[in-house]
């Protein structure tokens, strides 16, 4: 119910937002058009039409009128993308009402056909004719063994994408963004689907419940009681449903078999502290659905004060249980730290026993501990500096991956105001040390040493629960200073300065974007290291800005000049080339 309330209040907030027409900015263009259905040619009324700026954060919306016409007034010069949304249409974006920037819908690999590119001069009007394409429809009925409907069964679709099954976002309105429900008679209908192969999955609705145990075999959480079309209890036996955009696939019924339901409970404790794992979160996923993200299925509960938890309503089968601790307070002498424990992942098979019990100890994992020094004193003021441990083998693993994976993950830690840091929890593995400074033109990381070993150049190895301490990070202020000149500048120029090798990237905050001054002059200070440098026109930079990360430099090294800076260098006349197209 709280969710309903929040949604409702969101809607109210949203409606109070007021947009003004920009009559005070007379030099814009009018972008107008008509939306028609591609199959019937008749007007599409009250469709949501959204205009996104390609080069700047801009988004405006309107609706088509009763003749399918829409109009945006006073649109500034620039490149725009226009999308049309309405129930039943192929949708290029996941719920355009909620995202302010254009976030591509992962379920629709080729969205370009659904986006109209609009070039606005700021003077001339733009007239558009948009053809809205009706998607496909899947509809059917969800019933029990005894032919009774399953009212409000939750329906989710998986679409085959490059040989894999990927969850699809299926709704258009603000409510029930992630799920679509069958009606009171068990009938469901999901529209706006692109052509393709689908699996249709139903799960029982979740009912309201208080915490007092009731009748035997009751379960409020129905999300584990799952069936795939036509009557499969797991994904493996599901039948593929083919959908063609513009047509309906009917009779996609789902029969939900009555199954014996099991209970899984457990106790968690923090091993190092000898305390119960209170408020630890326990996430349960069906093993055949792991990796489908939260869109498809998982269920999270938390342990009580005694570290006990329980989940009821589980059919026989295999489950992945992830137990993740919140922060615990660790008292080192004179140094209180909040430390997260290592999440634990356990596969549980429920077969004969009615109740299965897990006892879990959470450990803190390995930690990397040390301090940051500047001019012989602990770094006192720059509390926003972060340090990290980056797995050597797989640097692409995301920072949040520990909850999802058994592999070592990139973890970062904040440097405390007393210069101390602690990075945890870490799995056994080999890591690089990393550091990131908020102001890269003031200080740089000069050295990272542990017991005589240079951690800037050497990776380190962690075993389970190892505390890897006494790391001393030394900062220095004698940056290299560079004065330069863009060769043959063409109007406003932007200069890209990017680290050119692994060591520089790990310690010096990555890419910097500088606005060149009059006649293309630039001045900057930088840590010693190797860099790529090149200039582009500011307008062109905006079109490539989203691509500017490490891969781009590694793929296009010949577009840049490569320079090496040493501590204290004073370079006066660096000639910055304009990037090759």
- Taking CA atoms, 155 is separated from 151, 247, 563, in Å, by 11, 20, 57
Asked if 493 and 527 touch (Cβ cutoff 8 Å), the reply is no
- Smallest gap, in angstroms, from Cβ of residue 146 to another protein? 9
Distance CA 275, CA 288 (A): 34
Nearer to another protein by Cβ, of 35 and 427: the residue is 35
Distance CA 363, CA 334 (A): 22
Q: Quick one: CA dihedral 399, 403, 404, 409, positive or negative? A: positive
DSSP string, 233-292: SSGGGPPPEEE-TTSEE----EEE----EEEEEEEEEETTTTEE-TT-EEEEEEGGGTTS
- Smallest gap, in angstroms, from Cβ of residue 214 to another protein? 4
Which residue do the tokens 């027409």 mark? Answer: 21
Nearer to another protein by Cβ, of 46 and 575: the residue is 46
DSSP state of 163: T
- Smallest gap, in angstroms, from Cβ of residue 4 to another protein? 7
Question: Quick check: helix, strand or coil at residue 42?
Answer: coil
Distance CA 129, CA 116 (A): 10
Report residue 125: phi and psi, to 5°: -80, 155
Asked if 423 and 388 touch (Cβ cutoff 8 Å), the reply is yes
Pairing of strands 126-132, 29-37: parallel
Distance CA 280, CA 309 (A): 9
The CB-side HSE value for 116 (13 A sphere, CA atoms) comes to 22
Asked if 277 and 324 touch (Cβ cutoff 8 Å), the reply is no
480 DSSP β-pair partners: 526
Nearer to another protein by Cβ, of 149 and 276: the residue is 149
- Smallest gap, in angstroms, from Cβ of residue 63 to another protein? 4
Question: Quick check: helix, strand or coil at residue 500?
Answer: coil
Nearer to another protein by Cβ, of 45 and 160: the residue is 45
- Smallest gap, in angstroms, from Cβ of residue 511 to another protein? 24
How many residues make up the chain in this entry? 581
Nearer to another protein by Cβ, of 40 and 519: the residue is 40
| Structure token digits, residue 452 | 């005589």
Which residue do the tokens 């615990």 mark? Answer: 328
- Smallest gap, in angstroms, from Cβ of residue 447 to another protein? 42
Asked if 431 and 392 touch (Cβ cutoff 8 Å), the reply is yes
- Smallest gap, in angstroms, from Cβ of residue 298 to another protein? 21
- Smallest gap, in angstroms, from Cβ of residue 55 to another protein? 13
Nearer to another protein by Cβ, of 251 and 291: the residue is 251
Nearer to another protein by Cβ, of 123 and 208: the residue is 208
Residue from 160, 129, 36, 34 nearest 89 by CA: 36
Report residue 544: phi and psi, to 5°: -105, 0
Q: Could you give the dihedral angle defined by the CA atoms of residues 304, 293, 400 and 177, in that order, rounded to the nearest 10 degrees? A: -80
- Smallest gap, in angstroms, from Cβ of residue 191 to another protein? 4
Question: Quick check: helix, strand or coil at residue 539?
Answer: helix
Nearer to another protein by Cβ, of 53 and 499: the residue is 53
Nearer to another protein by Cβ, of 17 and 573: the residue is 17
- Residue 570, number of CB atoms within 10 A of its CB: 8
- Does an H or E element contain 104, and which? none
Max Cα–Cα distance, the chain, nearest Å? 85
CA 414-419-423 angle, 5° bins: 35
Nearer to another protein by Cβ, of 25 and 393: the residue is 25
Nearer to another protein by Cβ, of 97 and 272: the residue is 97
- Smallest gap, in angstroms, from Cβ of residue 215 to another protein? 4
Nearer to another protein by Cβ, of 88 and 167: the residue is 88
Distance CA 264, CA 80 (A): 53
- Smallest gap, in angstroms, from Cβ of residue 204 to another protein? 7
- Smallest gap, in angstroms, from Cβ of residue 133 to another protein? 13
Nearer to another protein by Cβ, of 18 and 396: the residue is 18
Nearer to another protein by Cβ, of 97 and 128: the residue is 97
């Amino acid at each position: 119910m709280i969710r309903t309330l929040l949604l409702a209040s969101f809607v109210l907030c949203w409606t109070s937002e007021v947009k003004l027409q920009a009559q005070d900015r007379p030099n814009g263009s009018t972008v107008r058009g008509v939306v028609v259905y591609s199959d019937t040619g008749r007007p599409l009324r009250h469709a949501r039409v959204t205009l996104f700026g390609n080069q700047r954060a801009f988004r405006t919306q309107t609706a088509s009128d009763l003749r399918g016409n829409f109009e945006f007034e006073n649109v500034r010069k620039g490149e725009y993308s226009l999308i049309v949304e309405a129930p039943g249409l192929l949708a290029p974006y996941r719920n355009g009402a909620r995202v302010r920037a254009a976030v591509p819908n992962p379920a629709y690999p080729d969205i370009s056909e659904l986006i109209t590119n609009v070039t606005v001069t700021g003077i001339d009007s733009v007239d558009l004719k948009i053809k809205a394409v009706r998607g496909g429809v899947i509809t059917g009925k969800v019933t029990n063994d005894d032919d009774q409907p399953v009212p409000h069964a939750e329906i989710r679709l998986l679409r085959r994408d490059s040989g894999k099954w990927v969850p699809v976002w299926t709704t258009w309105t603000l409510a029930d963004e992630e799920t679509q429900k069958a009606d009171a008679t068990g009938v469901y209908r999901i529209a706006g689907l692109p052509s393709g192969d689908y699996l249709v999955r139903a799960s029982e609705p979740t009912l309201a419940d208080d915490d007092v145990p009731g009748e035997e075999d009751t379960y409020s959480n129905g999300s584990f009681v799952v069936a795939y079309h036509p009557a499969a209890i797991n994904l493996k036996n599901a039948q593929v449903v083919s959908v063609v955009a513009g047509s309906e696939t009917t009779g996609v019924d789902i029969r939900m078999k009555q199954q014996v339901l099991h209970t899984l409970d457990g106790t968690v404790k923090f091993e190092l502290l000898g305390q119960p794992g209170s408020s630890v979160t326990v996430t349960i996923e069906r093993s055949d659905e792991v990796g489908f993200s939260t869109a498809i299925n998982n269920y999270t509960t938390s342990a009580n004060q005694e570290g006990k938890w329980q989940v009821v309503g589980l059919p026989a089968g295999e489950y992945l249980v992830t137990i993740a601790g919140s922060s615990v307070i660790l008292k080192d002498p004179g140094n209180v730290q909040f430390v997260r424990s290592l999440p634990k992942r356990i596969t549980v098979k429920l077969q004969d026993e009615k109740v299965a019990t897990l006892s879990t100890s959470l450990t803190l994992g390995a930690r990397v501990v040390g301090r940051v020094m500047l001019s012989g004193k602990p770094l006192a003021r720059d509390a926003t500096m972060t340090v990290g441990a980056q797995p050597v083998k797989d640097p692409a693993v995301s920072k949040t991956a520990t909850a999802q994976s058994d592999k070592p993950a990139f973890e970062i830690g904040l440097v405390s105001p007393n210069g101390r840091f602690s990075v945890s929890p870490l799995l056994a593995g080999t890591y690089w040390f990393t550091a990131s400074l908020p102001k890269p033109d003031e200080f740089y990381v000069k050295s990272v040493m542990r017991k005589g070993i240079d951690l800037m150049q050497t990776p380190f190895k962690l075993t389970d629960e190892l505390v890897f301490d006494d790391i001393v990070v030394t900062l220095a202020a004698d940056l290299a200073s560079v004065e330069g000149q863009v060769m043959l500048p063409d109007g406003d120029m932007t200069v890209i300065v990017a680290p050119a090798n692994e060591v520089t990237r790990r310690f010096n905050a990555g890419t910097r974007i500088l606005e060149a001054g009059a006649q293309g002059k630039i001045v900057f200070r930088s840590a010693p290291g190797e860099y790529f440098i090149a200039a582009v026109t500011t307008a062109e930079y905006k079109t490539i800005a989203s691509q500017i990360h490490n891969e781009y430099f590694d793929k296009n090294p010949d577009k840049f000049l490569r320079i090496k800076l040493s501590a204290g260098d004073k370079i006066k006349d660096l000639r910055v080339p304009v990037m090759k197209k």
